[in-house]
Structure 1
């Protein structure tokens, strides 16, 4: 999952996923910085406006207004730039229930580049990798979480076969009320869920919190979904049913297959 969040979308042949992520970053990206930068410049024309927006998307949750504010661009200017970046196949726009649309990169690698490499180009250009190493070590779990959420949505589309999911988005009312997964199946069942990319098992309290969020948002959920990197407590696993679906990393093999 972590390696895909960094290298997804590249065509460099087989990547040795047994190596630590930062070692691969240094070996395959930083040491070839100039060549990769030239390829990316062809996509963006080297335009500072595009780079500002792409960096803002990479370092935020992708909500349109937040991106324009972070990039310090007027909305009309930002909208035109986003349209161009979408036409070039760099960004895509996704609906978020109850909030602004969100912007996502079409490939994980471009997100990694504009989150970690492009903002620190001076040191990298001069052969000093200390700042990017420190930033990666501080943010790697947080950074991978978004890729985990996106792939979780794809996993649900793949596994809900008898009653397929027809609509799926995130749900957001404010900073205190957001739900990772908000979907509707073919039979009109409402699916809500959360994704936890943490190094601890998810406990029953997370299900309780999700149920409370639904109550506050006045969402009548038919199916609850929890997706966790490290699995679940025994208490939570004992409650697994048609109304509570639990997924761990091993379930993502369905996407690979």
Structure 2
């Protein structure tokens, strides 16, 4: 199995590997149909406890499976009151279904009486919700919304939606594994995504030597070009981040202007960087 296939299959089936039988000669869609859609009852039983597949838990988890995953936005999309939402989150944390990733943004106020600009008065620093297992993310993002149709043997709308949106699943797994790679290779004290009032970054890490590592991950079928480097520099300036090391992870490699004219302190990694990492882990 190629590194690309490993990413794509882990994004769908991570956490239930022993319950399925993948055939690498088949397409991803064919494996989904054989292992999940045509074997629905067996896979449905893996989502436990069963009540999380019913409202309001299912509404919350479906809303958490797409978008920016910030808690307030999840509650808004699922039309769940904040008080109920807190209870749902508490139970899902106890079940180990989700995790809460706290924002690393510095508080807007440095002292209680500090006045904020008008544009920032309604801004709220928010944590994000992440699924503990990729399969749960796939299930609530792609399977659960089409439950009735799938049970009746109608897979058309499922596959239409999957074709349009499945890249988001693999991109998130790529981002998380890239951060794990950074943490290991740079002996980082911390590594993860970062978001603030100005924007978001896939990677922000701090090394043992107090070096700041900032970067982006692109799981797309095109090369990263120098324009992406300029965009990252601008975003860093707006968010007042001053990296010592810049990194790009790209599924499909890099343009000649980046590879043939190396930029100091800019590191470029494609899928081949993960081969040894996956073997080690």
Same fold (TM over 0.5): yes
Tell me the alpha carbon deviations over residues 49-80 of structure 1, each in whole angstroms, 9 at most, x when there is no partner: 11111111112221111111111111121112
The answer to whether the Cα contact below 8 Å between 2:20 and 2:35 also exists between their aligned partners in 1 is no
From 156, 162, 179, the counterpart of 1:130: 156
- Partners of 2:53 and 2:158 lie apart in 1 by 21
Offset of residue 149 of structure 1: 0.9
Is residue 211 of structure 1 aligned with residue 233 of structure 2? yes
The alpha carbon displacement at 1:242 in A equals 6.7
What corresponds to 1:3 in structure 2? Answer: 9
Q: Which runs of 5+ in 2 are unaligned?
A: 1-6, 106-124
Q: 2:33 matched to 1:39?
A: no
1:61 is aligned, of 38, 61, 68, to 68
- Which of 24, 30, 37 lines up with 2:31 in the alignment? 24
Secondary structure, in 3 states, of the residue corresponding to 1:167? Answer: strand
Written as runs of structure 1 = structure 2, the 5 A alignment for 1:113-124 is 113-124=139-150
Superposed CA RMSD: 1.8
Choose the corresponding residue for 1:180, options 194, 202, 206. Answer: 202
> Following the alignment from structure 2 to structure 1, what is the Cα–Cα distance between the partners of residues 53 and 163?
28
- Which of structure 1's runs of 4+ aligned residues deviate more than 3 A? 43-47, 238-242
Deviations 1:8-59 (A, max 9, x none): 1112255223421111110000011122223315354544111111111112
Any unmatched runs of 5+ in structure 1?
none
Query: How far did residue 93 of structure 1 move?
Result: 1.3
| 1:145 aligns to 2:151 (yes or no) | no
> Hey, what does 1:200 align to over in structure 2?
222
Q: Offset of 1:185 from its aligned partner?
A: 1.0
Does residue 72 of the first structure (1) align with residue 98 of the second (2)? no
How much does 1:142 deviate?
2.9
Could you tell me the TM-score, scaled by structure 1's length?
0.92
Q: How many residues align?
A: 253
Which whole-Å CA distance do the structure 2 matches of 1:231 and 1:62 have between them? 28
Q: Distance in 1 between matches of 2:235 and 2:19?
A: 43
